[in-house]
A = this chain, B = another copy of it.
Amino acid sequence: MRFSPRDNAFFDLFAADARNVRDGVRLLSQALASDADRAALAVALKEVEHQGDEHTHDIIRRVNSTFVTPFDREDIYRLASALDDVLDDVDAALDLMVLYRVGDLPAGVGDMVDVLDRAAELTAEAMPRLRTASELTDYWIEVNRLENQADQVYRRLLARIFSGEYDALTVHKLKDVVDTLEDAVDGFETVANIVEQIAIKES
């Protein structure tokens, strides 16, 4: 056990923040069902995103008012920002689906959201382990593996979107949604990389 009890607040905040991101991804996931009320889910996701902003501000306020932090102030800041970025992208993806009225989405979109779902779950599970800065390697490797897998899905999905099956404007809209999902996947990899760097410093 490397950290003192007074550090618990930071770890609790990051754990809560990552669970909140996971909740956001679950809403996005529900929005893919053919009978989903996407507009209602987008409103709920916006609420989750505001909750995330609160977590981020709580973390930054605490960094500002705490003399000794459990790990580098800068890394606390970067980790909070990176979690915030992921949730922004998840929120943007659903917002765009609603705004563009994209209707049914190609199957690969579901595969990408499944990757997001798995990455969000792994991230929420990993955050409490930041406390001991251990047993994080598997998480980091798995998120990197998922990101590689999502890359393959993403490229094949683009090839399908550009295959001639969709009209010109739908191509633009689908590409924009899919690019935003890809950004979210990359965002989870960024979170995992920051966690790995923190673990390296603490090791």
> A residues within 8 Å of B by Cβ?
60, 63-64, 73-74, 77, 81, 88, 92, 95-96, 99-100, 151, 155-156, 158-159, 162-164, 168-169, 171-173, 175-176, 193, 196-197, 200-201, 203
- Copies of this protein in the assembly total 3
- Closest chain-B Cβ to A9's Cβ sits at a distance in Å of 17
Decide: B172 and A92 in contact? CB cutoff 8 A: no
Decide: B155 and A162 in contact? CB cutoff 8 A: no
- Closest chain-B Cβ to A203's Cβ sits at a distance in Å of 6
Residue on B nearest A163 in the bound complex, by CB? B169
Residue on B nearest A140 in the bound complex, by CB? B60
Which 6 pairs show the lowest CB-CB distances between chains A and B? A99-B159, A168-B168, A162-B169, A162-B172, A162-B173, A77-B197
In the complex, chain B residues whose CB is within 8 Å of the CB of A162: 100, 169, 172-173, 176
In the complex, chain B residues whose CB is within 8 Å of the CB of A92: 151, 155
- Closest chain-B Cβ to A55's Cβ sits at a distance in Å of 15
Residue on B nearest A156 in the bound complex, by CB? B99
- Closest chain-B Cβ to A145's Cβ sits at a distance in Å of 11
Q: For the complex, what is the distance from the CA of A86 to the CA of B68, rounded to whole Å?
A: 34
Decide: B73 and A155 in contact? CB cutoff 8 A: no
Decide: A99 and B155 in contact? CB cutoff 8 A: yes
Decide: B95 and A155 in contact? CB cutoff 8 A: yes
Q: For the complex, what is the distance from the CA of A169 to the CA of B168, rounded to whole Å?
A: 8
In the complex, chain B residues whose CB is within 8 Å of the CB of A163: 169
Decide: B171 and A158 in contact? CB cutoff 8 A: no
Residue on B nearest A151 in the bound complex, by CB? B92
18 A-B contacts, Cβ less than 8 Å apart? Answer: A60-B196, A60-B200, A64-B200, A64-B203, A73-B200, A73-B201, A74-B201, A77-B196, A92-B151, A92-B155, A95-B155, A99-B158, A99-B159, A100-B159, A162-B172, A163-B169, A168-B171, A169-B171
